[in-house]
Structure 1
C-alpha cells in the first residue's frame, strides 16, 4: 500500500523536490501552498509520474481551510504516514527597528502555522499508533545570527515546541525529526532582505551581512541536494531528532556545542564580515 505524505509549502524549493522524489518511490503526495501557479505545474509533473496526489491552494494561517484539507486527505486516502512542516518566511533587520506587527505575522506563519498543521494530523496518527513528523527548523534555531533576531526567535520556538512534543507522542509510535539547513540556494533569503534606511546606525553592517550572505547562497546546497538528504530522513526507520543538510549547519552547530562563547562570536562575526 502506498505511503501517504503531507507537505506544507510544497509548490517550490525543497518541498517541491521532496514531493517529486517521493512520488518516484511510490508515495502518495498531499500538500498545499499559497502559490497556485506553482501548484498547477507540480500537478502536471506528478501526473507525468503517474503519482497519486492531492494538492490545494491554501495558507497555513487559515485554520478552517487547513482542517477541511485534513478531512479531505483522510477521507480520500484513509491515513497519513508522514507530515512535513515546510512552510516558513524569513525576517531580516536590526531588532531596534523591527516592525513588531510584521514580526507577529512571522511568528504566526513559522511557529503557529507549524502548530496548526501538526495538531490537524496528530489525532489520526495517534489512533493509528504510527507516523512521522518532520519539521523544517534552521541553523539559527540554535545559533542565532545578527539582524535575524525575529527569524531566529521563531526557529528557537520551533525547536522547543517540537522537542517537547516528541516526548508526548513517542508512546503512540510517532517519530519526530527536525531538519536544520543553514543556506540553500533559493530566493528564500532574498525575499526577507530589506536594508534599513541609510541613516540607520546599523546600515553599514547590514549591507556587509547581506553581501556576504548572497555570496554564500551562490555556492550553497541547492534544493535538489537538500531534498535528497531530507528524503533520507523521511524514509529512515529511526530518524535522528536533529538533521543537517549542508556543511555550514553541521560546522556551526558543532562549534556551538564545544567552543567558548567569545570564540564562537569571533568566528561568526568574521564569517559574516560584520566585525566592527
Structure 2
C-alpha cells in the first residue's frame, strides 16, 4: 500500500520539491498552501507522475479548515504515515524597533501553525501505533542571528515544543525529526528583509547584514538539493532528531556545541560582516 504523506506549504520551494520526489517513489501526496496558482501547477505535475494526491487551498492559521482537511485525507486514503510541517515566514529587524503585533503573527504562523498541524494528525497516528512527524526548524533554532530575534525565537520555540512532544508520542510508535537548514537558495529571506529607517542607529549594520545574507543565498543549497536530503530523513526507518541539509548549518551547529561564547560571537559577527 502506498505511503501517505501530508506536507504544509507544499506549493513552492522545498515543500514542492519534496512532494515531487516522493510522488516519483510512489507516495500518496497530500498538502495545502495559500497559493492556489502554485497548487494548480503542482497538481498538473503530480498528474503527469500518475500520483495519488489531495491538495487544498488553505492557511496554517485556519484551525477548523485544517481539521476538515485532515478528515478529508483520512477518509480518502484511510491513514497518514508522515506529516511534514513546512510552513513558515521570516522576520527581520532590530529588536528595539520590532512591531510586536507583527511579531505575534509570526509566532502564530511559525509555532502555533506547526502545533495545529501536528495536533490534527497525531490522534490517527497514535491509534495506528506508527507515524512520523517531520518539522522544519532552522539553524537559528539553536544559533540566534542578529536582527532575526523574533524569527530565532519562533525556531527556538519549535525546537523546544518538538523535543518535548517527542517523549510523549514515542511510546505510540510515532517518530519525530527536525530539519535545520541555514540558507537555501529561495526568495524566503528576501520576503522578510526590510531595512529600518535611515535614521535608525541599526541601519548601517542591517545593510551590511542583508548584503552578506544575499551573497550567501546566491551560492547556497538550492531547493532540489535540500529536498533530496529531506527525503532521506522522511524515508529513513529511524530518522535522527536533528538533521542538517547544508554545510553552513552543520558548521555553525558544530561550533555552537564546542566553542566558548566569546569565540562563537566573533565568528558569527565576522561571517555576517557586522562586527563593530
Structure 2 length-normalised TM: 1.00
How far off its partner does 1:157 sit?
0.1
Partner residue of 2:211? 211
Q: Counterparts in 2 of 1:1-276, with a 5 A limit? A: 1-276=1-276
How far off its partner does 1:233 sit?
0.1
3-state secondary structure, aligned to 2:109: helix
Q: Distance in 2 between the 1:69 and 1:175 partners?
A: 22
How far off its partner does 1:56 sit?
0.2
How far off its partner does 1:18 sit?
0.1
Deviations for 1:61-98, whole angstroms, at most 9, x for unmatched residues?
A: 00011110000000000000000000000000000000
3-state secondary structure, aligned to 2:155: helix
Q: Distance in 2 between the 1:146 and 1:269 partners?
A: 9
3-state secondary structure, aligned to 2:83: strand
3-state secondary structure, aligned to 2:127: helix
Q: Distance in 2 between the 1:275 and 1:184 partners?
A: 24
Which aligned runs of 4 or more in structure 1 are off by greater than 4 angstroms?
none
Structure 2 gaps of 5+ residues are none
Aligned pairs, number: 276
Q: Distance in 1 between the 2:269 and 2:192 partners?
A: 20
Deviations for 1:165-196, whole angstroms, at most 9, x for unmatched residues?
A: 00000000000000000000000000000000
3-state secondary structure, aligned to 1:221: coil
Structure 1 gaps of 5+ residues are none
Q: Distance in 2 between the 1:94 and 1:175 partners?
A: 37
Q: Distance in 1 between the 2:233 and 2:169 partners?
A: 18
RMSD of aligned residue pairs (Cα, Å): 0.2
How far off its partner does 1:263 sit?
0.1
Q: Distance in 2 between the 1:185 and 1:273 partners?
A: 20
3-state secondary structure, aligned to 1:201: coil
